[in-house]
């Protein structure tokens, strides 16, 4: 599988305490979200969410990311992608739940935040947490949706 480095690495501006270590695998290369991802399920952390019935509505939904387009309910033709390694403590402080409670093993997670034309992109899929090369999570209304990469 060809990996594409298609986004700029920049600090995550959420006021988090970031771990300034190399990404998993030691290579330091940014994780690639390029392509289409489908929602296949949902996970619930320790906080408040919309609940299982409302979460099911998003199963089957897709989001896609490329160098010059990010698409969810609406599209952005000028996306920028910020990558950070977020510690478990910082994740818990911001999202009020632990990494383990949403199925992320380890004490940190690679996180990508999408911005559009220099502004926050407030669409479903704007923040993505890497679980593996083919699986990620995005959070929306307190629900952590499982994203699976489609195709190669």
Mean pLDDT calculated for residue range 47-58: 85
Q: Between vectors from CA 25 to CA 37 and to CA 89, what angle results, nearest 5°?
A: 80
DSSP structure class, residue 70: E
Helix extents (H) in 28-138:
52-55, 88-95
pLDDT for res 31: 54
Instruction: Please count the helices (runs of H) and the strands (runs of E) in the chain.
Output: 2, 10
Whether pLDDT at 106 is above 70? yes
Q: Is residue 44 classed exposed, middle or buried when 0-12, 13-18 and 19+ CB atoms within 10 A define those classes?
A: middle
Tell me what pLDDT residue 137 has: 97
pLDDT at residue 50, rounded to an integer:
82
For residue 39, which of 135, 141, 152, 142 has the smallest C-alpha distance?
135
Helix (H) or strand (E) holding 147: strand 143-149
Q: Helix (H, G, I), strand (E, B), or coil: what is residue 32?
A: coil
pLDDT, averaged across the chain:
80
Q: Is the pTM of this model over 0.85?
A: no
């Amino acid at each position: 599988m060809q990996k594409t480095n298609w986004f700029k690495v920049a600090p995550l501006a959420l006021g988090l305490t970031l771990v300034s270590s190399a990404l998993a695998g030691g290579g330091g290369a940014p994780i690639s979200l390029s392509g289409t991802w489908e929602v296949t399920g949902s996970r619930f952390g320790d906080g408040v969410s919309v609940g299982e019935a409302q979460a099911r509505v998003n199963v089957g939904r897709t989001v896609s990311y490329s160098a010059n387009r990010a698409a969810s309910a609406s599209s952005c033709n000028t996306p920028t992608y910020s990558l950070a390694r977020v510690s478990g403590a910082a994740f818990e402080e911001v999202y009020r739940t632990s990494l383990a409670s949403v199925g992320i093993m380890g004490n940190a997670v690679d996180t990508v935040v999408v911005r559009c034309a220099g502004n926050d992109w407030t669409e479903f899929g704007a923040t993505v947490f890497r679980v593996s090369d083919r699986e990620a999570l995005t959070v929306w209304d307190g629900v952590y949706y499982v994203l699976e990469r489609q195709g190669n």
